[in-house]
Amino acid sequence: MRRILIDTDTASDDAVALIFALRDDRAHIEAITVVAGNVPVDTGVKNALTAVQMANTYTPPVYRGCSKPMMRDLFTSEFVHGSDGMGDMNLPDPALCVASGHAVDKIIELVVDNPHEIELITLGPLTNLALAYLKEPRIAQLVKHVFVMGGSGFGPGNITPVAEFNIYVDAEAAQIVLSSGMPLTFVGWDVSTDETFISQADIDHLLATGSPIAQFCVRCNEGLRLHNEEVWGQSGFDLPDPTAVIAALYPEIILKQSTVYSFIECKSADTYGQMVIDGNNLLKRPANVTLCHKIDAARFKDILFSRIQ
């Protein structure tokens, strides 16, 4: 059983990822830490607690983390996920409560107290993780592995032509993580926008199960579905966070990955947040990240759908 901490800016795709992870038998979720990103951090805490309740398995502690990026004002994505981040479901307050203690301290505590046992999966901006590293650099050597939903590989960005949301919100934090020496695997937004995209047929399949969990996972992504329809002209929705979680827990479905040197552009106004990937090793810098480029979409959907029904 792998011991996992999930850091999340809980909006609708994060919520599906949390529900999946809590219902999957390959991982024990030791803790959930929340960071500002898609939504303000307190909304993210509410959505994370709601997802834990909806998973209906066990209840790991949920800790509140950073309420803004390191250097910039918070840029949120309610225009994508809805005002509550959950498709405007106007959900009631969860019965579960946030645990005491700051997310940054809890990341440090869990990793330092369990050397080489804890794996981190991050689903939002990297503010919490960057600050945990700055406060306790030893976590870079003591963490077993860090899987990041971030960047868009060699593909276009989703917030600017070159930047993906999680990196764009806090590019400085992402650069701190990339240069920390942590063992890193990035699963970019590009991995969730090919055949892994959740089509209308997939939606119909999930709804036909009659499962309340499956229906919740579809309904909370209604904002994302409408956004995709209006902005990208696609019917359905991408699930980048579940893609990252399943690539992390089921490495056998990864079809293509590469190990490269990468850095984040933090200075340019026009290309801020770009994950620059030296695919041809022109800079002759030591590799610092493994990039997942493609997963088996059919296997991904089988695994995901089997757990959220």
- Given the complex with ligand RIB, which of 142 and 275 has the nearer CB atom? 275
The residue with its CB nearest to ligand RIB is: 165
- Given the complex with Ca ion, which of 205 and 219 has the nearer CB atom? 219
Q: How far apart are CA 96 and CA 105, in angstroms?
A: 21
Contacts with Ca ion by CB under 5 A lie at 9, 14, 123-124, 241
- Given the complex with ligand RIB, which of 158 and 185 has the nearer CB atom? 158
Contacts with ligand RIB by CB under 6 A lie at 9, 11, 13-14, 37-38, 123-124, 149, 158, 164-166, 189, 240-241
Residue 172 interface partner, choices ligand RIB, Ca ion, none, CB cut-off 5-8 Å depending on type: none
Q: How far apart are CA 9 and CA 125, in angstroms?
A: 7
Q: How far is the CB of 74 from ligand RIB (least distance, A)?
A: 12
Distances in whole angstroms, Cα of residue 269 to Cα of each of 103, 161, 168, 275: 30, 12, 11, 14
DSSP per-residue codes, 53-78 = HHHTS----EEE--SS-SSS-----H
Residue 168 interface partner, choices ligand RIB, Ca ion, none, CB cut-off 5-8 Å depending on type: none
Q: Cα 182 vs. chain centroid, distance in angstroms?
A: 17
Q: How far is the CB of 240 from ligand RIB (least distance, A)?
A: 4
- Given the complex with ligand RIB, which of 9 and 30 has the nearer CB atom? 9
DSSP per-residue codes, 228-272 = IIIII--SEE--HHHHHHHHHH-GGGEEEEEEEEEEE--S-TTTT
Q: Is beta strand 198-199 parallel, antiparallel or unpaired with respect to 236-237?
A: antiparallel
Residue 189 interface partner, choices Ca ion, ligand RIB, none, CB cut-off 5-8 Å depending on type: ligand RIB
Q: How far is the CB of 17 from Ca ion (least distance, A)?
A: 8
